[in-house]
Amino acid sequence: MRCQFRDGKIPALTLFAALFVACATLPGSNEEGFVSLFDGQSLKGWTLVAPKGAGYGVTNGVLYCAKGGGGNLLSEREYADFILRLDFKLDPGANNGIAIRAPLAGGSLAYTGIELQILDDDASPRYARLRPAQYHGSVYDIWPAARGALRKAGQWNSQEITVIGRRIQIVLNGRRILDANLNEVRDVNTLLKHPGMLRDKGHIGLLGHDDHVEFRRIRIKEIARANLNNIPPEGFVRIFNGENLDGWKGLLAPPNDNPTNRVRLTSQALAAAQAAADRRMRASWKAVNGELVFDGKGDSLVTSGNHADYELLLDWKIEPKGDSGIYLRGNPQVQIWDPREGGTNAVVGSGGLYNNKLHPSTPLKRADRMTGELNRFRILMLGDRVHVFLNDELVVNNTPLENYWQPGEPLPATGSIELQNHGTTLRFRNLYLREISRE
């Protein structure tokens, strides 16, 4: 078996996952633990979103996308880490796609989810000028697959897709054609165009594009992955260790909470102001049973260091009528509200860039869990652009964060991450950061 790696480098992977993937993708691997996603007789277990033409059908044990039809045919269940196996057969020039970790939605899931290309690469001249990451097996427009393993149109192909964390591997007809670690994608335009590549879980689907394509023997094996508190995913580091406030400091009291005022302080005045802020911090912020707990009586909490471009993960919990937010590069803020009827702002929901004036300030949808339950933010900060996922729902998509302290000026290139206080009890845990150095 020949392996294809991007730029000649083997992406980092834990030893366990590497051994698991290596064994799972060998030709002739057994079927233990796999369950069928297609019963050979119906579309039971699937939902067709935004159907086109005749959509999809079933005949003689084959699931097919109709000529001139399609839409997004998505599994009713969501999946996180898994091995997916299926056979497919292409008509000449046919185009389709396999969605993974996708939302239950219409439109192009290559952007809000992840699409693995299904394509008759040999169709010429139709596909002669595609970009490398648009051919069969590629993570569409993100990571190119090796070519040459696809059989001629009209013949059945067997494909295995292994997804563990940010690692995606594809074996086509016994040959490894893709080994992608999405944490290694650092191109700004790609990251901003494809927020779906950040998703942890979602639906599996077939993405029809008017061409007749047949599928059979679709089966999946889920891979359990432990999510332990304060143990970061691969590629991330903890910014809260679960035990103490190392790496954090108190926010300076007004007016020096404003960075434009803060820079005017002498080094001696700054040190005195910071010492006072740290005393207030230690009185009101505590590490309790792996959580970062605020008693509602002090000031905001700030990272000791500054950060530029990054992906931030954190879990948060508020009480009734709670109000908080996450400052990015020292600027407010990704908003946190009480979502209950009669809460601080139940209609709007959390996650929006609250202080924006010229650009959208409200989330695309309301994705909050009920007060008292843990919520998870996934925030991507690149340049002045922000993606926000709340509980796996994309609520901010490629929106500029405005400079609150100096309106009209560019957002600072670096700055602290701040946990905002509004006088209510707050709880945070699982604060993880992945620094991104741009290509």
Got the DSSP string for 293-345? EE-SSS--EEESS-BSSEEEEEEEEE-TT-EEEEEETTEEEEEEE--STTSSS
Q: Can you tell me whether residue 215 is helix, strand or coil?
A: strand
CATH numbers and ranges of domains, the chain:
6-222 (2.60.120.560), 237-435 (2.60.120.560)
Q: What is the DSSP letter of 256?
A: T
Q: Which tokens sit at 411? A: 């957002």
Predicted local distance difference test score (pLDDT) of residue 345 = 66
- Residue 418 main-chain phi, psi, to 5 deg: -125, 135
Closest CA to 216 of 86, 39, 118: 86
Condensed to tens digits (0 to 9), the pLDDT of residues 307-351 reads: 999 999 999 999 988 999 999 999 999 999 987 766 666 678 999
- Size (the chain), residues: 439
Q: Quick one: which of 133, 172, 163, 184 has its CA closest to 436?
A: 184
Q: Which of 119-133, 198-212, 384-398, 405-419 bottoms out in mean pLDDT, i.e. has the lowest?
A: 119-133
Residue type for position 6? R
For residue 397, give the H/E element and its range: strand 393-400
Q: What tens digit of pLDDT does each residue of 219-274 get?
A: 999 999 888 999 999 999 999 999 999 999 999 999 999 988 998 999 999 999 99
| DSSP H/E element including 259 | helix 259-262
CB atoms near residue 12 (< 10 Å) = 12
Contacts by residues 52-55 (CB-CB < 8 Å, ≥ 24 positions apart): 52/208, 52/210, 53/210, 55/208
Please state the pTM of the whole predicted model: 0.89
What pairs with residue 328 in β-bridges?
A: 331
What was the pLDDT predicted at 339? 76
For residue 400, the model assigns a pLDDT of: 98
Reported as a pLDDT band with limits 50, 70 and 90, residue 19 is very low
Residue with the two structure tokens 């809460």:
343
pLDDT at 338: 87
Who's near 61: CB < 8 A, 6+ residues apart? 40, 41, 216
CB-facing half-sphere around the CA of 103: CA atoms within 13 A: 20
From CA 44, how far away is CA 105, in angstroms rounded? 18
